[in-house]
Structure 1
Amino acid sequence: METRKRSIVKAVIWNVLGLVSMTLVGLAATGSVKAGGVMALINTGIGFTVYLMYERVWAQISWGRRHV
């Protein structure tokens, strides 16, 4: 089972990558760094929450794990 700290660190790193890529997509779509940044921040907040819950649910599921 994963620790909560590990799940949070993974989620933060994943969302930093997402924040950067969404900012670039938002910039390309709107031509505005501010609008792109706002879109990216909203997406990151939602994505962080959903990803963290997703990881914690899967941490409770034993299907597909091998115990050595």
Structure 2
Amino acid sequence: MILFRGREAHSRSFAKAVSWRILGSLDTFALSWFFTGSAKAAGAIAVTEVVTKMVLYYFHERAWANVSWGFAKDDQAAGKAA
């Protein structure tokens, strides 16, 4: 994909998105259950937000993969390792 030319493989970004969504959805479920008092409502809320937030996270990660800010240059990193 031309839009994303980062150092990270798409499969890695996807795996990170899935694992993050599982953790986030558990949090959403727990908070929703706490505030509504209903496990059924909490489940509906948690399930609804899974897909949209996973997709948003994936594109967020791929966009950040294009930002060089905060990465050491390869030749500088090699010099520090020696």
Give me the TM-score of the superposition, normalised by structure 1. Answer: 0.89
**Which of these residues, 28, 32, 35, is aligned with residue 26 of structure 1?**
32
**Which of these residues, 14, 32, 35, is aligned with residue 20 of structure 2?**
14
Question: Bigger relative contact order, structure 1 or 2, given CA contacts below 8 A and separation 6+?
Answer: 2
Q: Which has the larger radius of gyration?
A: 2
CA distance in 2, matches of 1:63, 1:24: 36
Matches within 5 A, 1:1-68: 1-66=7-72, 67=74, 68=77
Structure 2 gaps of 5+ residues are 1-6, 78-82
Regions of 4+ moved over 3 Å: none
Number of equivalent positions: 68
CA RMSD between the two structures: 1.1
CA distance in 2, matches of 1:13, 1:64: 24
CA distance in 1, matches of 2:69, 2:30: 38
CA distance in 2, matches of 1:17, 1:49: 15
User: Equivalent pairs: percent with the same residue?
Assistant: 35
Give me the TM-score of the superposition, normalised by structure 2. Answer: 0.76
